[in-house]
Amino acid sequence: MTASPRGPRPRGHERAVGTSERVYRSLLRAYPRELRDEYGQEMARCFRDLCREELEDGGGLGLAVLWANTLPELLYSALKERSTMLARNTYRSVVGVALATAFILLLPLLAAPAWNLFDFVFAGALIFGTGLTYVLAARKAGNIAYRAAVGIALAAAFLLVWLTGAVGIIGSEDNNANSMYFGVLAVGIIGAIVARFRTHGMARALFATALAQALVCVIALIIGLGSPWSPPGAFGTLILNGFFAALFVGSALLFRYAGREQPPAGAAGPEAGQEG
């Protein structure tokens, strides 16, 4: 005689449910505290009931499928809620960026005493400017794909400026050929302004930036700018430029995806907010 689905549950099932619930409650910490306090208990109870149902219907495989469906959705929604909270509280975000910048600058202050005042001012302006730009973009953005695209583009630009000024991508940092990379950034900035930060225009601007990055690499390799025997060398130059071009292309694809997620005309969002 087999047990009815509504009969006594195996102890192993109850242990699995309890473990899943504890893990789920821990993951709920990814949500903002206010949302967690308001909905956390109810979400945990619902998840516990779902775990029991899946174990009764499909056993361990059913529970694994439930986790496979729940985990990406939980992480996505938690990141979205965090981004929304960040967008609502711009003042605290700016202060947070300033404090983060100061903390980051403590590292070279302690580890690299050779830095001079200009180095600290340049690094501070670059870090703070990048963080502030992201905060302002996140405040106006309508979906997480747009924010991720902005984040990747800013990270790529930040690393490009840092590497160009610190060690150089074409030869050493003293090689004037590295100034071509500021032209790459100019393509992106001008493209973003022309696009008025709309998703499809931003995608085209980032594709153009990636193309400009690749063009600089081709010019450097064909003309033989920099010393082929000194770091990073021809192969290193190719790899570094490919890395940055890939970041810009990835950002462009995310902007394109954000455009497909865009709400209809008249609704709030990065495109609608920039119309007019």
Q: What is the pLDDT of residues 21-54, one digit of tens each?
A: 899 988 888 888 888 888 889 999 999 999 988 8
Same-domain check for residues 168 and 256: yes
Same-domain check for residues 149 and 262: yes
The H or E element containing residue 186 is helix 180-195
Name the residue range of residue 41's domain. Answer: 11-80
For residue 1, is pLDDT > 50? no
Question: Is 101 inside any structural domain?
Answer: no
CA 139/CA 48 separation, integer angstroms = 35
Question: Is 47 inside any structural domain?
Answer: yes
Which residues are CB-contacts of 66 (< 8 A; sequence separation ≥ 6)? 50, 51, 54
Domain count within the chain = 2
Chosen domain end from 80, 103, 132: 80
**Around Cβ 121, how many Cβ atoms within 10 Å?**
11
Same-domain check for residues 161 and 230: yes
Same-domain check for residues 153 and 244: yes
Give SS3 for 3: coil
Give the residue, 203 or 12, on which the prediction is more confident: 203
Which residues are CB-contacts of 33 (< 8 A; sequence separation ≥ 6)? none
Res 152: pLDDT? 93
Report the share of the chain in percent with pLDDT over 70. 80
Confidence of residue 202 (pLDDT cuts 50, 70, 90): very high
Asked if residue 275 lies in contact with residue 225, where contact means CB atoms within 8 angstroms, the answer is no
Chosen domain end from 80, 95, 121: 80
Report residue 61: phi and psi, to 5°.
Answer: -65, -40
Same-domain check for residues 71 and 149: no
DSSP 112: -
Same-domain check for residues 66 and 173: no
Question: Is 128 inside any structural domain?
Answer: no
Please state which of the ranges 88-92, 183-187, 202-206, 266-270 shows the lowest mean pLDDT.
266-270
Q: Which one, of 260, 255, 256, lies nearest residue 149 by Cα?
A: 255
Same-domain check for residues 39 and 149: no
